[in-house]
Amino acid sequence: MSVSKGEVRTGHLSILIRYMHTMSETFCLKDIEYTAKLLEKTASIYLR
């Protein structure tokens, strides 16, 4: 997390995807589940 002008908290999360922008674009479902859990925990800390 970082803070920009005016005390606005910003952040960025990415999910790894293979073969992006192709017909065989794939991802791991566990990566999405873990990213959602990470986002939930991070938000609970910073949005108190």
The answer, yes or no, to whether residue 1 has pLDDT greater than 60, is no
Instruction: Render pLDDT for 2-44 as a digit per residue (tens, 0 to 9).
Output: 656 677 777 788 898 999 999 999 999 999 999 999 999 988 9
Residue 9 near residue 48, CB atoms below 8 Å: no
Q: Which residues contact 40 (CB under 8 A, 6 or more apart)?
A: none
